[in-house]
Amino acid sequence: MMLSRYKHEHLISLLGFCKDDGEKILVYEYASHGSLDRHLSSTSLTWRQRLNICLAAARGISYLHDPNGTQQRVLHLSDFGLSKIGPANQQHTFLFSNIVGTPGYLDPQYLEKYFLTKESDVYSFGVVLFEVLCGRLCFEYNDGQFHSLVQRWKQSSEEKKLDHVIFRDLKQQMDPSSLEIFSNIAYQCLQKTYELRPTMARVVEELEIALEIQETYDVPMDYEEMMATAVPPLLYKSQEELNTLFSKGVLLNMGKTWFSLNKNGEHCEMISAAECLIPIASIYHKDPYSSEYNSRFKMGSYLAYNRKFKTRVRTQFLSPKTVYAVNLVFKFMKKNPTGEPPYVALEYKLAENTKSSIVQLADEREDGWLMAKLYELTSDSRNVDLEIVFESSKKYYSSVLVIEGIEFRPLEKA
């Protein structure tokens, strides 16, 4: 239970183990997204997200090598059978009489000399860095034979031909300098001699630089257009401060769009009723908007007296390849005194469709508004164009609806 003693924000604690009747089970803290190997080939895992994952892992291993405030370090490589504690100032820690560990990740020096060192960890981490870069595990089986890809990756790096092995969905996302720093430190980790390999502290430093460069590179792609239309103008000194502003939510598009980031860094976008409403000639109200309902939009909320209105919703800032829920955000003019779940029973359809749907119930939000889910869609780009028609139904007619807007919210990942 040695590893259960070490606590760090980038370590998952080992809680226990079981060995019974031929079964061997390790019990860890719950990690909702599973292990990294399940996501290596995911097209939705961006280069910036991969950098963040690698940096967090590097910080965890660096801590295990030199725990703050202790005189011990942990070698934590290949599998838990190799985990050992040793003095922090000792170079070569343990001599093994037999080779154990996971093929593909093992340090060649360990295979030759049976010595396990901190540099052995560095080598294995370099393999993982290349896996993240190439979007696949470091080995494959051909005709039942195990084949390591590590030497091929090293050769591609030496010959400046990484483009041949990089995961193709990442190529358009990468800042060249960020890629160069990342690939250089990954290659250094795979050097045969201990002396040429970097420390994990140095790996952390290089990955921090690669991430910082990538974040700067991503700002024009993701945020330049947004910041130009922010009301009021956004004031920030760093990417971290900008992300904090976006996490809280800001008004864009001259105050007609509410934009925010969720905890996964995905874009949430709400189009105000005033921006997306299409006037219906047969329906006229002298003052259809109200500022009495605490709307985040200056124009206020649209009062749908007879529940018949049309919207043309054009997004500008969605995250590509993301599954979104399309929600109507609203309130009732008269609050429900019973405390029962909000019952909407609102008919709606896309303009090109003939058949209507009915949304029955709404969810209460933390901001005090209600949210009725209309559709799910997967975004191909930042832009979506929908025309949605809402119709009154005498059968289900109840309180006047106060419409704030149409929201595109990423679905929570299981």
- Chain segment 331-380, per-residue pLDDT in tens: 998 876 666 778 888 899 998 888 999 988 899 999 999 999 999 999 98
Percent of the chain whose pLDDT exceeds 70 = 83
Question: How many whole angstroms separate alpha carbon 206 and alpha carbon 212?
Answer: 10
Half-sphere exposure of 119 (CA within 13 A, CB side): 17
| Per-residue confidence (pLDDT) for residue 25, from 0 to 100 | 87
- Residue 248 reports pLDDT greater than 90: yes
pLDDT digits (tens, 9 = 90+) for 209-229: 999 888 877 765 567 778 888
> Which H or E element spans position 118?
helix 118-134
Q: What is the DSSP letter of 9?
A: T
> pTM to 2 decimals?
0.54
Q: Which CATH superfamily is domain 2-219 in?
A: Transferase(Phosphotransferase) domain 1 (1.10.510.10)
**3-class state of residue 24 by DSSP:** strand
Question: How many whole angstroms separate alpha carbon 327 and alpha carbon 321?
Answer: 18
As a 3-state breakdown, the chain gives helix, strand, coil percent values, each rounded to 5, of 30, 30, 40
For residues 397-402, give the mean pLDDT.
Answer: 76
- Residue 115 reports pLDDT greater than 80: no
Percent of the chain whose pLDDT exceeds 90 = 47
Cα dist from 279 to 231, 311, 348, 389, 400, whole Å:
26, 9, 16, 11, 18
**3-class state of residue 22 by DSSP:** coil
- Strands 323-332 and 401-410 come out as antiparallel
Amino acid 223 reads Y
Question: How many whole angstroms separate alpha carbon 315 and alpha carbon 340?
Answer: 33
Residue ranges matching CATH 2.60.120 in the chain? 225-410
**3-class state of residue 307 by DSSP:** coil
CATH 2.60.120: does it fit domain 225-410? Answer: yes
Q: What is the DSSP letter of 229?
A: T
Residue ranges matching CATH 1.10.510.10 in the chain? 2-219
Pair 372, 272: CB distance under 8 Å: no
- Residue 89 reports pLDDT greater than 70: no
